[in-house]
Amino acid sequence: MNNNKSLFVIALILLGLLALSASAFVVKETEKAVLVRFGEVVRTDYEPGLYFKIPLVHELRKFDARIQTVDSQPVRMLNSENKFMMVDSYAKFRIVDVGRFYVATRGDERNAVRLLAEQINNLLRNQFGVRDLHEVVSGQRDELMAEITENLNKTAQTDLGVEIVDVRVKRIDLPPEVSESVFQRMRAGRELEARDHRAKGQEASERIRANADRQKVVIESEAYRKAEELRGDGDAEAAKIYAQAFSKDPEFYRFSRSLTAYKESFKSKSDMLLVDPDSDFFRYLKDSQGK
Amino acid sequence: MAWNEPGGNNKDPWGGGNRNNDGPPDLDELLRKMQQKLNGLFGGKPSDAGDGRPGGGSFPWSLVMIVLAVVYGLWGFYQVDANESAVVLRLGKYHNTVNSGLHWNPPLIDHVTKVNMTEVRTERTTGQMLTEDASIVDVVLQVQWHIDNAESFVLRVRDPLKSLQEATDSALRHIVGSQTLNGVISQNRTQVAADTQVRLQEYLDLYQTGIRVDVVNLTDAKAPREVQDAFDDVVRAREDEVRLQNEAQAYANQVIPVARGQAQRMIEEAEAYKSRVVESARGEAARFTALLAEFQQAPEVTRERMYLDAMQEVMSNTSKVMVDVEGGNNMMYLPLDKLTGGASGGASQRTQVTPQVVDEISQRVMNQIRTEVNNARRSREVR
């Protein structure tokens, strides 16, 4: 009896376990669940917790309740200047209506991501098409993103049951051929700058040198003027002194000065003097009486 | 043996047993019941054992239950380090976040995720990006971050690290896109980092990543490799500019003092000239005045004396040729070219003409003249 009872208990427990494992499920904080009965959505409003379903009748589908990412591949886009650029974007979304999400994507998250990526690319293309490079790179980036997020939210929520948290352009790159011309422009700009610096250097150099040269000339000519003035002063004073002294007896001055001049003029042995013996100097040469 | 494997690994036996007895599932009640049942097992152990043993051959269920309960109980202990927080989910629902210490949560019912809250981690992004002036710049950026909100980090976003990477990329490019190339490279580097940090934090909060950005460093911002040489040349040009100025300044620093010195020399020389001229004038004047005074005492004699003195000096210092040209009919040959040539002749010979040579020539000439003069005189006397 005892044996039978315990066997019965074991069987009961095993049966219970089986039923339980097939019917109990936990919805985690990070999940959203859809209960489907023969393809028809029965319940979607699961808070996190432990729930039960009828095995074989109900099918449970779980989706990620957290914020997820649509990371699209870089896409080539034309801007308003008809230039191509490579745009890499991502979007953050969260499932808000899991029933709609399940229906719209037939339970495959990848479908949703693909659909969103297509829409984002489409919206980006539209936005980029009416803006030039400068506007998308700097000026209107935030507005652009906000507009796309808003546009996307209108349809995404009703069509896919997701809320778009944010759409961002990660990178905007120029295609290689455009990059090359940008590099050339940058190089040209730098060359301009370098030349400007060198020219400015030469300008400053010339200015400093010329200024120095001018100062040199000014200094020297001023000195020359002063020197000449001094010499003139000296000459004038000397002349005055001479005049004062010599005017006392001009005739005697002429005489004594002439004598000095003779002495100075004929002081070398190589000077030659042709002398008339009848000159006054030789008066006594022939005759002691000087007659 | 087979039955206790699923039983040991699964929480369901307890819950299931209760549910069958008590009807609709209620989590708290379930737990309470479970607790009661456990207590019952503990308390009822002796009597159960007593009942079981006499039965003979019956399996010791209670013992198994006790062992299982002990294992389950020990299994539920876990430790949270000082730098960690643990997020506890109870049956999938967020229960609480616990800090450091030893904790116990029922295994299989609670799910514990530990995260390191204090470790500062680094995220790096690098690449070429466009600036406001449509130039391209190479940027390396480092973000240091830590987990600020464990609950958000674990529960709110699917891949927080990837979100961080994406947000960093986007924020950085946004900020660089609103700066000029020169701004990013030099003037506004700190500004770029600061703006990026603000924007990045904004994104991270929006995505509920629970990440807090500590520091954003613009590790490197430079012109792309393709144009680096042109940028280097600008740096060189800047140095050239300074060098040229310095060289010119050095020139000026040398030229002007030299000119000043030379100017001073000119002035000094002029002063010297002036002094010399004036002083010699004074001297000569004084000499003349003194001489004049003597001359006025005895004009005739003094005049004669001075004349003779001067003549003597002149005559004694020069070569003399005395010519009596009265007898104009006599031809007289004077080799003046030789005489003067010897004295002041060609520049080529001057170095060889020593005073001795001149003397000798003069002597010879004088002799010849003398003989000529004597001859003439004799012929006159003869007549």
A138-172 pLDDT, tens per residue?
A: 777 888 888 889 888 888 888 888 999 999 988 88
pLDDT band at A17 (very low <50, low <70, confident <90, very high): confident
Are residues A238 and B223, on separate chains, in Cβ contact within 8 Å? no
Bridge partners of B224, per DSSP, are none
pLDDT for A38-90, tens place per residue?
Answer: 888 888 888 888 888 888 888 888 888 899 998 888 888 888 888 888 889 99
Are residues B323 and A90, on separate chains, in Cβ contact within 8 Å? no
Which letter, b or e, does each residue of B142-168 get, where b requires 16 or more Cβ atoms within 10 Å of its Cβ?
bbebbbbbbbbbbbbbbebeebbbbbb
Nearest C-alpha neighbor of B28 from the set A93, A53, A234, A49? A49
Residue A98 parent element (H or E): helix A98-105
Average pLDDT over residues A241-258: 88
pLDDT band at B29 (very low <50, low <70, confident <90, very high): low
Radius of gyration of chain A (CA): 58
Say how far apart CA B224 and CA B128 lie, in whole Å. Answer: 7
Say how far apart CA B276 and CA B150 lie, in whole Å. Answer: 104
pLDDT band at B275 (very low <50, low <70, confident <90, very high): very high
List Cβ neighbours of B215 (8 Å cut-off, separation of 6 or more).
B142, B143, B144, B197
List Cβ neighbours of B10 (8 Å cut-off, separation of 6 or more).
A17, A21, B108
Query: Taking chain A, what is the end-to-end CA distance rounded to the nearest angstrom?
Result: 203
Average pLDDT value for chain A = 86
Predicted local distance difference test score (pLDDT) of residue A266:
80
Are residues B10 and A21, on separate chains, in Cβ contact within 8 Å? yes
Measure Cα distances from A162 to A111, A156, B58, B192, B208 in Å.
13, 6, 59, 34, 16
Q: How far is B156 from chain A (nearest CA, A)?
A: 5
pLDDT at A20 over 90: no
Are residues A219 and B263, on separate chains, in Cβ contact within 8 Å? yes
pLDDT at B355 over 60: yes
Residue B93 parent element (H or E): strand B93-98
Predicted local distance difference test score (pLDDT) of residue B50:
41
Write out the E strands in B270-355.
Answer: 319-322
Q: Under a CB-based contact definition with an 8 Å cutoff, are residues B157 and A64 in contact?
A: no
Tell me how many helices (H) and strands (E) chain B has. Answer: 13, 9
Q: Across the A/B interface, how many CB contacts are shorter than 8 Å?
A: 365
Average pLDDT value for chain B = 79
pLDDT for B188-209, tens place per residue?
Answer: 888 999 999 999 999 999 999 9
For residue B353, the chain A residue with the least C-alpha distance is A270
Q: Which of A186-190, A250-254, B32-36, B256-260 has the lowest mean pLDDT?
A: B32-36
Predicted local distance difference test score (pLDDT) of residue B21:
41
Predicted local distance difference test score (pLDDT) of residue B100:
87
Q: Using a CB-CB distance cutoff of 8 angstroms, which residues of chain A are in contact with residue B264?
A: 223
Q: Using a CB-CB distance cutoff of 8 angstroms, which residues of chain B are in contact with residue A165?
A: 206-207
B247 touches chain A (CB under 8 A): yes
For residue B151, the chain A residue with the least C-alpha distance is A29
Predicted local distance difference test score (pLDDT) of residue B142:
94
Bridge partners of B138, per DSSP, are B128, B222
pLDDT at B16 over 60: no
List Cβ neighbours of A283 (8 Å cut-off, separation of 6 or more).
A290
Q: How far is B16 from chain A (nearest CA, A)?
A: 6
Predicted local distance difference test score (pLDDT) of residue B47:
41
- Which residue out of A93, A186, A268 would a mutagenesis test of the B interface target, given it has the greatest number of B Cβ atoms within 10 Å? A186
Say how far apart CA A26 and CA A19 lie, in whole Å. Answer: 15
Measure Cα distances from B95 to A79, A119, B109, B151, B280 in Å.
51, 38, 11, 10, 122
pLDDT for A76-100, tens place per residue?
Answer: 888 888 888 888 999 999 999 888 8
B276 vs B366 pLDDT, higher one: B276
A255 vs B371 pLDDT, higher one: A255
B20 touches chain A (CB under 8 A): yes
Nearest C-alpha neighbor of A169 from the set A226, A86, A244? A86
Tell me the residues of chain A between 135 and 154 that have a Cβ less than 8 Å away from chain B: 137-138, 141-142
User: Of all residues in chain A, what percent carry a pLDDT higher than 70?
Assistant: 97
ipTM score: 0.71
Structure tokens at B216: 């954003």
Predicted local distance difference test score (pLDDT) of residue B40:
54
pTM metric for this prediction: 0.63
